[in-house]
Amino acid sequence: MTDEAMTGERVVPMRLQRFLARAGVASRRGSENLMTAGRVTVNGRVASELGTKVDPLVDEVAVDGVVVRLSEGFAYLMLNKPAGYLTTMSDPHGRPCVASLVPTERHPGLFPVGRLDADTTGLLLFTTNGDLAHRMLHPSTHVWKHYVALVRGIPTKRELAALAAGVTLDDGPTAPARVELLDARDATCRAVAPGRVPKGHAVVGISIHEGRKHQVKLMLDAVGHEVVRLHRDAFGPLVLGDVAEGEWRDLTPAERAELEALL
C-alpha cells in the first residue's frame, strides 16, 4: 500500500518528500536533501524528519519561505547563459553561478540539466524534474545538442568528414556527429561572431548526442582547429531562439510535452 490515499477528490496525508516531488520542487532525493538541510517548513515549523507526513489541503508547506502547492507541477525553463558563469547552483569561492540568473526563489529545487563550460554561452535547461533530467543525460536516450563554434583556421572537407565519422580522444572514439561549415553571412554565426567572422577563422555547426567534458572543443582541436568561442543553440527538441543573453523563459506547454515524452 502506498503512503497516500484518496477519498473522493481529497488527497490525505502523504510523506513530505513525496509531496515536494509531486509539487515540482525537486526530485524525491532532492526533496529529502532540502528537508535535512532545514529549508522546509510545515505550518511554520522546520520539518527535517524524513517520516513527516502532510495533508496538502490542510497543511501549509514552504521551502525557503516560499509556499508550495501540488497544483504547480514541475518547473521547466531555458536560460541563455552568458560567458563567465559556472553551471552550478553555488560556488564556495564566490564565483558567478547560473543560479543568480534564474528564479530560484519561485522554484527552490531548480537545477540545470547538464552543464556548459564557464566560457560557453547558450541554451541551458533548468527543471525540478529529476527523472527527466536523468533521462535526457543518459547515453541511451541520444538527445542531440547543437553547437556553433568560432574556430581558428578554415576546416577542410576532409576534416569535417573526420568529425562527422567520429574522432579519437584520450577517452576513446566519439560517436558520429552532424557537422557543417557555416556561411559567414548566416545569422547563426552572430552568436559567436557578432560583428563579422575574423580573417583566418571559420564558424562550424556541430551536433552531438554524447556528453563528455569539453567534447566539442576537444573534437575540433583533434582536427587542428582551436575553438575561440562556443555557443549552444539547441538541446533535444528545444531551440534557444530569441531569448536574450542572460535572460530566461518558461517552456511552452508544447515544449514541456516534447520533453516529458522522453520519459
Residues assigned a catalytic role: 117
Contact criterion met (CB below 8 Å) for 113 and 205 = no
Supply 62's cell numbers.
514552504
Measuring CA to CA, how many Å separate 194 from each of 68, 97, 185, 190?
A: 42, 24, 11, 4
Phi then psi dihedrals of residue 63, to 5 deg: -120, 125
Dihedral (C-alpha) 221, 224, 227, 230: value to the nearest 10 degrees?
-70
Helix H or strand E segment including 54: strand 53-54
Among residues 202, 200, 178, which one has the least CA distance to residue 192? 202
Contact criterion met (CB below 8 Å) for 231 and 121 = yes
Contact criterion met (CB below 8 Å) for 126 and 110 = yes
